[in-house]
């Protein structure tokens, strides 16, 4: 008679939860006596759809019966390439070009709204019904002027291998020869600053000075360098005299866009993660799933029996039996599934803290979870071209925009007090607009009028008649405090500082926040792999566990 399987609950169906459930469900391992390890995996998601794809939308165009799927937020991959290939997900290379621009603080110059796009239909995945909206605003509709764009830099992508790697903004290209010469001289200074920053990033990263998990090598003692600990971007740039143009116009807005924080937050964030990101992405391509992440979701959830995937299942409490150590869930509808031996939280740290059972042994874990910081992020899919620079010559695949630096204490205070609206963030944020139509073959022919944009953290109002969808998210953010507690959630021996929080009372944590570096998809895989291997090892499996991907 086969032994009763070990019951494991995975809470959350983002990439971390899906990969964890998939890895456990497809795992083939044996005990030292040769008997197979039996696992029973159940996946819980409070939403009506699996989380990784729950806010994506499908758009139908009048000339094409096949809906176009927009991932929301955009999922550009780098370090998860091998997983996607294992799942046989069609990938498309996307070495994005970038535009870096500033917005003026003078808001009373008249302008007009961009031409209206053709009618379209959006498919709301929440109820699987199509909602048709005819977008036909007046072509010359008067409204309050957009702050004027001033493009600073145009980067042509292709990992810097395209020549020339930088282009002239339109106002420079159309200006007098003296203006162009002055700008080219400025570009030389910018290029030197970039090379200098690149050398510093590789030096710190390769010497293990950005990570607590890397032991010091012998020759580090010969160099006037030490671990960055929690040194901020501002402090690092000042110490090494990184050029102001490089810092203010490229490094800070790019770091802010990647981490979805404001400019001031990006300047105060620990620089170690920024340097590691520069090194890890240098010379490597990014990819997107050709058919969207819905294909990734389907492949990951396919091995799990349908009756073990619980949607619209909000867990209100988790209690632990003092005699059996089993964990009992209570759902919003009052039902209680069979108790579980292990629970894996694939949620935000603050959500895990809200569900954590009450226990003296878990008190320090609860405190650590609450110290992980989060920022709110707004993602909008729309057809409003007026949020981009006026001339198409200044448009790139990804367009990063922030307001000009405040010129007075009053302006600085106004920025701090600007908390935004339901459709935009405050002036201190960095707006990133992806021109979806430029990077997808089906939409690349502009003559068809299929122009779609995805804007993350808009800082100007987007025409409500042109909004296809909007969604608020919470993103984990790296802080000095989060760096202090993170090692207790890492399972690498070099990362432990005291007893690990993982596996205490058979409770585990995975997610982008639960790995070193900027919280991105790569962290979901790293934390998932470590937890799966450690959990199985604790069940008596002595051989090295190799995950399929």
Give residue-wise pLDDT tens across range 224-281: 555 576 789 999 999 999 988 899 999 999 999 999 999 989 999 999 999 999 998 8
Confidence (pLDDT) at 445:
62
pLDDT at 494 over 60: no
pLDDT of residue 165: 81
Q: What is the model's pLDDT at position 397?
A: 92
Assess whether pLDDT exceeds 50 at residue 395. yes
CATH number of the domain where residue 339 is located: 3.50.50.60
Looking at per-residue pLDDT, the higher value among 111 and 90 belongs to 90
Task: Give domain status of residue 352, yes or no.
Answer: yes
Output the pLDDT for position 144: 55
- Rounded-to-integer distance, Cα 481 and Cα 370, Å: 10
Cis amide prior to 164 (ω within 30 degrees): yes
187 located within any domain:
no
Q: Which band of pLDDT confidence, cut at 50, 70 and 90, is reported for residue 138?
A: very low
pLDDT recorded at residue 17: 97
In which band, very low, low, confident or very high, does the pLDDT at 9 lie, cut at 50, 70 and 90? very high
DSSP reduced 3-state for 541: coil
Per residue in 434-474, pLDDT tens?
999 887 777 766 555 678 999 999 999 999 999 999 999 99
pLDDT for residue 363 is more than 90: yes
Domain carrying residue 11: 6-52+289-372+479-538
Cβ atoms of residues 99 and 154 within 8 Å: yes
Residue 122 has pLDDT above 50, yes or no: no
Res 409: pLDDT: 79
Q: What pLDDT is recorded for position 158?
A: 64
Place of tokens 């987007």: 462
Give the separation between CA 17 and CA 11, rounded to whole angstroms. Answer: 7
Cβ neighbours of residue 244 closer than 8 Å, sequence gap 6 or more: none
342 assigned to some structural domain: yes
Looking at the chain, the whole-number percentage of residues with pLDDT higher than 90 is 54
Average pLDDT over residues 145-172: 81
Whether residue 332 is contained in a domain is answered as yes
- The reported pLDDT for the residue numbered 335 is 94
Dist. CA 485–CA 514, nearest whole Å? 10
Most confident listed range (15-29, 139-153, 431-445, 530-544): 15-29
What mean pLDDT comes out for the span 416-423? 83
Mean pLDDT, residues 114-132: 36
**Which residues make Cβ contacts (< 8 Å) with residue 160, sequence separation at least 6?**
none
Residue 455, strand partner residues: 380, 433
Given this model, what pLDDT does residue 12 score? 96
Task: Specify the pLDDT at position 523.
Answer: 92
In a domain, 483, yes or no: yes
Work out the average pLDDT over 510-519: 93
The arithmetic mean of pLDDT across residues 347-351, rounded, is 95
Distances (CA, A) of 74 to 13, 99, 301, 521: 17, 17, 21, 11
Q: Is the pLDDT of residue 123 over 60?
A: no
**115 within some domain:** no
Residue in this structure with the two tokens 């396919």, named with its chain if needed:
302
Residue 249, CA distances (Å) to 104, 225, 394, 540 in order: 14, 27, 16, 54
What per-residue confidence (pLDDT) applies to 160? 55
Q: Can you state the angle between helices 293-301 and 15-25, rounded to 10 degrees?
A: 30
Specify if 384 maps to a domain. Answer: no
- What is the average pLDDT value for the chain, to the nearest integer? 84
Q: What angle do CA 187, 191, 196 make, to 5 degrees?
A: 150
Give the pLDDT confidence of 171-206 residue by residue, as tens digits. Answer: 999 999 999 999 999 999 988 999 999 999 999 888
pLDDT of amino acid 497: 56
Q: How many CB atoms lie under 10 A from the CB of residue 31?
A: 14
The average pLDDT across 328-342 equals 95
Predicted local distance difference test score (pLDDT) of residue 226: 57
Rounded Cα distance between 365 and 64, Å, is 52
Number of domain units in the chain: 1
Indicate whether 378 pLDDT > 70.
Answer: yes
> How is residue 177 written in tokens?
């020869």
Residue 311: closest CA among 20, 42, 19, 39: 42
Among 475, 485, 481, residue whose Cα is nearest residue 524: 475
Q: What is the Cα–Cα distance from 87 to 296, expressed in whole angstroms?
A: 7
CA distance 21 to 4: 19
Q: What is the pLDDT of residues 46-103, one digit of tens each?
A: 999 898 888 888 887 766 667 888 888 888 777 788 898 889 988 888 888 999 999 9
Which of these ranges, 282-291, 356-365, 387-396, has the smallest mean pLDDT?
A: 282-291
Note whether residue 357 is domain-resident.
Answer: yes
């Amino acid at each position: 008679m086969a032994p009763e399987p070990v019951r494991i609950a995975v809470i959350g169906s983002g990439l971390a939860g899906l990969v964890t459930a998939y890895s456990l469900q497809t795992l083939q391992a044996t005990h030292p006596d040769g008997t197979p390890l039996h696992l029973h995996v159940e996946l819980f998601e409070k939403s009506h759809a699996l989380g990784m794809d729950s806010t994506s939308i499908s758009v139908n165009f009048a000339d094409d019966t096949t809906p176009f799927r927009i991932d929301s937020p955009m999922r550009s991959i780098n370090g998860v390439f091998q997983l996607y290939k294992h799942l046989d997900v069609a990938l498309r290379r996307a070495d994005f070009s970038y535009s870096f621009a500033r917005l003026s603080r003078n808001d009373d110059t008249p302008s007009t709204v961009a031409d209206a796009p053709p009618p379209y239909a959006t498919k709301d995945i929440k109820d699987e019904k199509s909602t048709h909206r005819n977008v036909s605003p007046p072509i010359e509709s008067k409204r309050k002027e957009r702050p004027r764009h001033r493009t600073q830099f145009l980067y042509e992508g292709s990992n810097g291998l395209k020549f020339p790697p930088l282009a002239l903004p339109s106002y420079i290209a159309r200006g007098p020869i003296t203006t162009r010469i002055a700008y080219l001289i400025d570009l030389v200074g910018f290029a030197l600053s970039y090379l200098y920053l690149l050398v510093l990033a590789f030096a710190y990263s390769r010497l293990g000075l950005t990570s607590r998990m890397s032991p010091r090598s012998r020759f580090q003692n010969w160099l006037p360098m030490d671990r960055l600990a929690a040194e901020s971007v501002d402090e690092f740039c000042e110490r090494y005299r990184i050029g102001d143009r490089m810092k203010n116009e490229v490094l800070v807005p790019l770091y802010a866009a990647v981490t979805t924080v404001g400019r001031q937050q990006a300047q105060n964030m620990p620089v170690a993660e920024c340097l590691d990101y520069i090194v890890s992405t240098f010379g490597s391509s990014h990819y997107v799933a050709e058919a969207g992440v819905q294909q990734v979701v389907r492949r990951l959830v396919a091995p799990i029996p349908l009756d073990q995937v619980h949607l619209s299942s909000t867990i209100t409490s988790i209690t632990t039996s003092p005699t059996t150590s089993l964990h009992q869930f209570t759902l919003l509808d009052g039902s209680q599934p069979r108790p579980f031996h292990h629970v894996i939280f694939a949620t935000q740290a603050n959500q895990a803290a809200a569900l954590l059972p009450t226990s003296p042994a878990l008190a320090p874990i609860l405190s650590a979870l609450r110290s992980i910081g989060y920022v709110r992020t707004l993602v909008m899919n729309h057809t409003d071209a007026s949020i981009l620079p006026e001339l198409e010559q200044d448009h790139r695949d990804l367009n990063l925009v922030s307001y000009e630096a405040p010129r007075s204490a009053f302006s600085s205070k106004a920025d701090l007090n600007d908390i935004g609206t339901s459709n935009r963030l405050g002036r201190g944020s960095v707006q990133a607009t992806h021109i979806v139509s430029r990077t997808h073959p089906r939409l690349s022919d502009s003559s068809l009028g299929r122009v779609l944009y995805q804007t993350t953290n808009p800082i100007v109002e987007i025409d409500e008649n042109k909004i296809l969808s909007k969604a608020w998210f919470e993103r984990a953010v790296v802080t000095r405090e989060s760096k202090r507690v993170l090692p207790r959630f890492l399972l690498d021996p070099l990362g432990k500082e005291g007893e690990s929080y993982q596996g205490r009372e058979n409770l585990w944590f995975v997610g982008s926040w639960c790995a070193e570096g900027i919280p991105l998809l790569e962290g979901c895989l790293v934390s998932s792999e470590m937890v799966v291997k450690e959990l199985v090892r604790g069940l008596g499996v002595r051989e090295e566990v190799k995950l399929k991907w």
